[in-house]
Amino acid sequence: MLRSRAFWAPRSLHPIARLLLILVVGVLLAVAIGFVIEGGAFTRYDLLAIVFYFGLAAFAWHPLTAAFIVMLISSVGVVFTGSGGDLLELAISLGLVAVTCAPWVIITHVVVLAALTAYVAVESTTLAAGGVYGIVGIATIAFLIGVAFRLVAARESILVAERARVERDLEAIAREDQERIADELHDGIAHDLTLILFHARALPRQPDETARQVSLTTIEESAEQALQSIQSLLSLMRDTTTEAPPIHETRYHGNIVDAVTSLSELLDDAGIATQVSVPSSSLGVTSAAERVLIETAIEAVTNIIKHAPKSKAASISIHADPGGIELIVTNSGPLSPARSSTSPGGRGLRRAEQRLGQIGGQLETGPAEQGWTLRAGVSAARS
């Protein structure tokens, strides 16, 4: 830590240390003023002492300025009075400089102290025998105390930064869990409930027993899938000690071709004639990209059933080339009043766009001739 640049960066005094400094300076000023009143005269020595004390107080607000004020006043006092007391004050103030200032200021302070000590030792007799060693010892102790306080402050800063990092990580985990739960609700349960609601409403109007049986089968399968999704959600929300089961990993077995075929059958069962076009060869994309395309296709079909149930026709196609694959879902027919042809899309389309963006894909949606078109593209997997 002592070698780090951040450790030796200029820093302010701790609020408690700042308060103690002000109290100590206040006591020193009161003592100095008391001596002035008792002596009945205000000398230049008293002026230097009072200015020096104000310089010490300045460490509470602007340490760099305070350091140079202290060095200047001490230098003036030593040169004009030859007093060893000024050296002692300068040595003690090294502790405040070591706590708050940059290394070059600390070095400057030490150089000034050494030069003034040498000057007094040579030019004056005010230092008693061994006085130089006393000044050096006091300065060393003050410096070590200052470094100790800086170390405590640095450790506190590290702990605060670590706590903030942990809080950010926990918030990110919480947001991730919230997004995961929201995705489960939207992509799985909402999809299944949309099918249940659609076929439940259409059941009384089915023309024959075969159509009614299709609706009943769809309702039963969708209800079972919704129940499984709810159980997965409960596991995620209640069990915090183990990893929750992956979301929709087994939906359509992670195969986009199977997903497109099944989704087209759902649209057919809903009375929307659907054309399907898929390549016969391998798509050449990663499993993650295939899952995202499946989720996007589910969102597109759910939106058709929910917002355009009176569509005359629909189509789901997959176009593959060496650069990647593209999923295209279209429908022809009027949208429901709650969703105009200029609607930018809700959470589902926004999340689909985010997921595609995370794997380098892109999503385009918008009105087409008498309907709506969704295009989702992903790049081919690198070998």
First to last CA, the chain: 46
Torsion of CA 94, 96, 97, 100, to 10 degrees: 160
Tens digits of residue pLDDT in 306-328: 888 888 899 999 988 877 889 99
Helix (H) / strand (E) element for 364: namely strand 362-368
Say if CB 225 and CB 193 are below 8 A apart: no
Distance CA 354, CA 340 (A): 23
Distance CA 366, CA 346 (A): 13
Q: Where are the domains of the chain?
A: 15-166, 252-383
Average pLDDT over the chain reads 81
Q: Is it the case that residue 329 has pLDDT exceeding 90? A: yes
Tens digits of residue pLDDT in 78-88: 887 766 778 88
Total residue length of the chain: 383
**pTM, whole model, 2 decimals?**
0.51
Q: Is it the case that residue 239 has pLDDT exceeding 70? A: no
Mean pLDDT of 134-144: 90
Percentage of residues in the chain having pLDDT higher than 70: 87
Residue 141 pLDDT level (bands cut at 50, 70, 90): very high
Residue 343 pLDDT level (bands cut at 50, 70, 90): very low
How high is the pLDDT of residue 187?
A: 65
Domain 252-383, what fold? Answer: Heat Shock Protein 90 (3.30.565)
Residue 340 pLDDT level (bands cut at 50, 70, 90): very low
Residue 242 per-residue DSSP state: S
